[in-house]
Amino acid sequence: MNRRCGILLHITSLPSPHGVGDFGEAAYQFVDFLAETRQSLWQILPLNPTSTVYGNSPYSSNSAYAGNPNMISLDLLIQDGILTESDLKGYTTFPAGMVDYHMVTSFKENALRVAYKNTRPTLRKNLEFEEFCNENAHWLEDYTLFITLKESFHGAAWHEWPEGLRHRKEDVMREWRKTRKDRILMEKFFQFLFFRQWFSLKKYCNAKNIQIIGDVPIYVTDDSAEVWAKPEIFKLDDAGKPLFVAGVPPDYFSTTGQRWGNPVYNWDILKATGYSWWLKRIEYNLKLYDIVRLDHFRGFVSYWEIPASEKTAIHGKWVDAPVKDFFNILYRHFPSLPIIAEDLGTITPDVREIITTFGIPGMKVILFAFGDDLPKNPYIPHNYIHHCIVYTGTHDNNTVKGWFKKEASTEDKKRIHKYLGREVTEDTIHREMIRLAMMSIANMVVIPMQDVLGMGEASRMNLPATSENNWRWRLLPEQITPALIQELTEATVIYGRG
């Protein structure tokens, strides 16, 4: 494989006049920036709908398939004649540099409803829309009814709905589909707009030889269309509530571990059905992205199962999944499967064995490299293999500058100085870390945009185990300067990644 590099920047972090990054002009300008600086990878976070209830995390969604309507560009809808300038007049000025999700969600919802009203009379004659609905019926029918029912029951979780809907009785569902026909159609229209704009952007990327790395969260939320539609593939009680939830055990970062709260899979049922649910999901994501990052990869080997009644992750246990059988079938369906394993944290020999057996590239994060085990540390560049993907940090870490200022110990800093053979400062550390990544033997390098810009802790994307003020950071157009373009291009070319 060629030496390559790229940038990690989520769609919501792009500039836009409407309060949150979207698929509009700034997204295309960002692709032009990637092309100009000789990048060939753009990594994003999951595109699924987010909710203020779940802290706006793209890893906690009510759907594993649907797109986030907040990412639909209203400017493109104006260009397409679906909205007019006057439809948007009187909207609030949004804060720059940070997303205000409450404000944005309300504004976008209203604007998209107007777009639907404008299009409604001709929608049924729109062949492109009909084709989209038919092609995506396997998830779209359940998702749009799910959203409509949630609205009808004032946001109540699906296991609190009337019994006929909870247990998906066909006659009851048919009646609701009939009486809420217009609301369901509107939701289908939003998804149609989302995916039309997304695939147009992806086509533009690919035409410039830029591949998109997308993220597939291993778990889904219990109050999601997937759990409601396929309860048998999860470990639930008779009322549809999780018997066990996912998380990770206590470790260096947390004495009580992390209790994520997602229902865990019933792998026996998944295996008995030939993993058809997962095969469909992977196939779908391979259309959306060029390369897929499987989040929490170790959960495919064995997962931490916590009784749902427990308030923390302490009293969970490891449960094995049929990982070899699963990946054998996966590779039979997709012989050249372009996936990356998110294999960070404590990785046991059985996980390492699967990654090696199937030749899946894992992740290396330079921020993790400078502990007292430095010579043998798997994240230090002299221990890399070609077949891996290197990051300065991820969306879950502090920025390089923030880490150096706040989290790196005096001893860590001494080791950095010795490793580099010179002193570094808070203002130069991000360049040094990028250089280490770029010059390494790793085939692929991805740098978060915040580290390219040398930004501090205030611009970090997410602080795990917290639900406030995450996923908010945004790029400002003026931050991409001619000097930055030159610096990034030179590093890309000099280390043979252009």
Q: Are 216 and 39 in contact (CB under 8 A)?
A: no
Identified catalytic residue from 36, 100, 290, 396: 396
Alpha-carbon distance 14 to 477, whole Å?
9
Q: What is the dihedral of CA 89, 95, 100, 106, to 10 degrees?
A: -10
**pLDDT for residue 89:** 79
Query: Could you tell me if 232 and 192 are in contact, meaning their C-beta atoms sit under 8 angstroms apart?
Result: no
Taking only the tens place, the pLDDT of each residue in 298-334 is 999 999 999 999 999 999 999 999 999 999 999 999 9
User: Residue 83 to residues 75, 92, 268, 271, 465: CA-CA distances in angstroms?
Assistant: 8, 17, 49, 47, 40
Split the chain (498 residues) into runs of 10 and give each run's mean pLDDT: 93 96 98 98 98 92 97 97 89 87 94 97 95 98 98 96 96 97 98 98 98 97 97 95 95 84 97 98 98 97 97 96 98 96 90 96 97 95 97 97 97 97 96 98 98 97 89 97 98 97
- How many whole angstroms separate alpha carbon 148 and alpha carbon 152? 6
Q: Among residues 176, 412, 132, 431, which one has the least CA distance to residue 287?
A: 132
Report the side by side order of strands in the sheet with 317-320. 258-263, 244-248, 302-307, 317-320
- CA-wise closest residue to 412 among 384, 388, 433, 387: 433
Query: Which is the CATH superfamily of the domain at 4-130+198-494?
Result: Glycosidases (3.20.20.80)
Say how far apart CA 393 and CA 411 lie, in whole Å. Answer: 20
92, 103 in Cβ contact below 8 A? yes
What contacts 492, CB < 8 A, 6 or more positions away? Answer: 5, 37, 38, 39, 438, 498
Residue 357: the pLDDT is 96
- The number of beta carbons lying within 10 Å of the beta carbon of residue 330 is 18
pLDDT value, residue 95: 87
Nearest to 437 by CA among 481, 482, 393, 498: 393
pLDDT recorded at residue 283: 97
- CA distances to 4, 43, 234, 265 from 210, rounded to whole Å, are 10, 10, 37, 34
What confidence score (pLDDT) does residue 92 get? 73
Tokens standing for 375? 């010579």
Which regions of 336-381 does DSSP assign to beta strands (E)? Answer: 339-341, 362-365
User: 229: closest CA among 152, 149, 299, 285?
Assistant: 149
Cα 187 from Cα 65, distance rounded (Å): 13
Alpha-carbon dihedral sign for residues 333, 338, 343, 348: positive
pLDDT of amino acid 1: 65
Q: Answer yes or no: 342 catalytic.
A: yes
Record the tokens describing residue 213, joined without a space.
């790395």
The DSSP element (H or E) to which 135 belongs, if any, is: helix 127-135
- Reply yes or no on whether 468 is catalytic: no
Q: Which residues pair with 339 in a beta bridge?
A: 292
Query: Using CA atoms, how far apart are residues 96 and 18, in angstroms rounded to an integer?
Result: 10
Distance between CA atoms of residues 34 and 129, nearest Å: 32
The active-site residue, picked from 342, 343, 412, 451, is 342
Catalytic annotation, pick one of 25, 87, 295, 487: 295
Q: 82 Cβ partners below 8 Å, 6+ apart? A: 115, 118, 119, 193
Give dist(CA 149, CA 161) in Å, integer. 9
**Residue 288: which residues within 8 A CB-CB, separation 6 or more?**
47, 198, 202, 212, 214
